[in-house]
Amino acid sequence: MSNPVFFAPVGSLGHVNPGSTFVLEGPEARHAVTVKRLAVGEPVDIADGKGARLTGTVAEAGPGTLTVTASDVVFEDQPDVRLVLVQALAKGDRDELAIETATELGIDAVIPWQSERSIVRWKGDRAAKAHAKWQSVVTAAAKQARRAWIPEVRQILDTGALAKAVENADLAIILHEDAKNPLRAVLEELEASREARRDAPREVLLIVGPEGGISPREVTRLSDAGAVTALLGHHVLRSSTAGPAAVVLASDVLGRW
């Protein structure tokens, strides 16, 4: 069974070597001691959310602090091709469910999308709070999945800004029920280009619409910016399901798993 993971501040593991100790403090330490009830001698991992991972055993568990003796400290590289989920805002927390599951499955970054048909709107103070909530969701999911990397939640984009992001992206894929090419075929072509080392994309945007689907106008605008459409199966998936399903397929075809 894998060790439980707790997150330390970015860069805080740089000075730790096997045999030395590391003191985790704050909410993560309290969670480890009070909720998980880790005791002396139990195995644990400490990650910084940016790839560094300390593996060790609990040396001391006190109120608000967890002291760990390191047995190994490693840095886990990111995949050759990063997957970014562009998730349209959706009602009923379906967007949060999508990014939570996608994080557990290995997504590398998330972009909130204010699409034309999104019922939910991020405005004013709500935008900052909602963004913080999304970051909290992916952080908790990364901990659950024992990841050393916490996906970045980028700033919310409207369709115009997303079109510009598509123009600058290595590859952008719109998951759409009217697409002709299966997602697997699009991904296999990408993998073939990687193997041939011909302009291999380093980052792929997977674009998912809201409950009402992506409007024809948005499909046209994003396609004109360089996005390609792809069909994900023969059934219409919920907004909360499409992104994670695409991550599974992409992780398999691109050799991430």
Q: Give the up-direction half-sphere exposure of residue 212: CA atoms within 13 A in the CB hemisphere.
A: 12
The full set of domains in the chain, from first to last, is 5-75 (2.40.240.20), 82-253 (3.40.1280.10)
- Dump pLDDT digits (tens) for 76-120: 999 989 999 999 999 888 999 999 999 999 999 999 999 998 888
**Beta strands 52-62 and 43-47, pairing class:** antiparallel
Cβ–Cβ < 8 Å for 47, 148: yes
- DSSP tag of 229: E
Distances (CA, A) of 146 to 25, 103, 186: 19, 11, 30
For residue 201, the model assigns a pLDDT of 60
Residue 167 has pLDDT above 70, yes or no: yes
Identity of residue 173: I
- Dump pLDDT digits (tens) for 220-242: 999 999 999 999 888 878 889 99
Q: Could you give the dihedral angle defined by the CA atoms of residues 114, 145, 48 and 206, in that order, rounded to the nearest 10 degrees? A: -30
